[in-house]
Amino acid sequence: MALPVKNRLRVLRAERDWSQSDLAVRLGVSRQTVNAVETGKYDPSLPLAFRIAREFSLRIEEIFDPEDSPALITNHLEVQK
Amino acid sequence: MIVADTSLSSSPRASGLGCARMQRGEIVAVGAFVVTCAAAAAVRKLYGVEALRWCLPAVVLSGVLYLRTISRIVSRLDELQQRIWLEAVGFGALGIFLTGIIYPMFEKSGVLGPLQPLGMSALLVVFVIAGYLQARWRFR
Q: How confident is the model at residue A54 (pLDDT cuts 50, 70, 90)?
A: very high
**In the predicted model, what is the mean pLDDT of residues A39-59?**
92
| Percentage of chain A modeled with pLDDT above 70 | 77
E strand or H helix at A65: strand A64-66
| Chain B CB contacts of A25 below 8 Å | 12-13, 16-17
A75, HSE (Cβ side, Cα atoms, 13 Å): 9
A36 vs B2, B3, B139: nearest CB: B139
Q: Return the residue of A nearest to B78 by Cα.
A: A29
Q: How confident is the model at residue B110 (pLDDT cuts 50, 70, 90)?
A: confident
3-state secondary structure of A42: coil
In chain A, which ranges are continuous DSSP H helix?
9-15, 20-27, 31-38, 46-56, 60-63, 69-80
Q: Calculate the average pLDDT of chain B.
A: 82
Q: How confident is the model at residue B113 (pLDDT cuts 50, 70, 90)?
A: confident
Q: How many residues in chain B?
A: 140
What CA–CA distance (Å, rounded) separates B95 from B98?
Answer: 5
- Which ipTM value was assigned to this complex? 0.72
Please give the pLDDT value at position A68. Answer: 60
The predicted-structure confidence for B12-26, as pLDDT tens digits, reads as follows 443 444 456 677 888
Q: Answer with the residue of higher pLDDT: A1 or B101.
A: B101
pLDDT at A13 over 80: yes
What CA–CA distance (Å, rounded) separates B17 from B20?
Answer: 7
